[in-house]
């Protein structure tokens, strides 16, 4: 079946990877000010549906002992993803 894997049959359609243009792109270049703050451009905030007061989870990726990447995720979306991932595991642990 196109776009799906079944048994040992693999599709030629590729899933987007973290480095693929379909997945990630540079939205803007921002500057860290003296207080350690950044300003997200208005267009980025609007496209992401961010409102004043929204909480963002700061997720870091380490390379050696240094942080090499930082990703911002809406806290509510991060919490929902964590519940989806951990929910079944929590049920198994409770048994």
Map out the domains of the chain as residue ranges. Answer: 42-94
What pLDDT digit, counting tens, does each position of 23-75 carry? 788 899 999 999 999 999 999 999 999 999 999 999 999 999 999 999 999 99
pLDDT greater at residue 20 or residue 34: 34
Per-residue confidence (pLDDT) for residue 3, from 0 to 100: 47
Which residues are CB-neighbours of 31 under 8 A, at least 6 positions away?
Answer: 38
Which residue from 64, 36, 65, 40 is spatially nearest to 51, judged by alpha carbons? Answer: 40
This prediction has a pTM of 0.59
pLDDT the model gives residue 88: 74
């Amino acid at each position: 079946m196109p776009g799906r894997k079944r048994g040992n049959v693999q599709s030629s359609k590729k899933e987007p990877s973290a480095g693929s243009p379909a997945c990630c792109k540079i939205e803007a270049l921002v500057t860290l000010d003296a207080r350690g703050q950044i300003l997200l451009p208005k267009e980025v905030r609007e496209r992401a549906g961010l409102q004043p007061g929204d909480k963002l989870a700061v997720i870091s990726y380490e390379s050696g002992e240094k942080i090499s990447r930082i990703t911002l995720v809406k806290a509510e979306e991060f919490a929902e993803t964590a519940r989806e991932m951990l929910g079944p595991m929590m049920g198994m642990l409770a048994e």
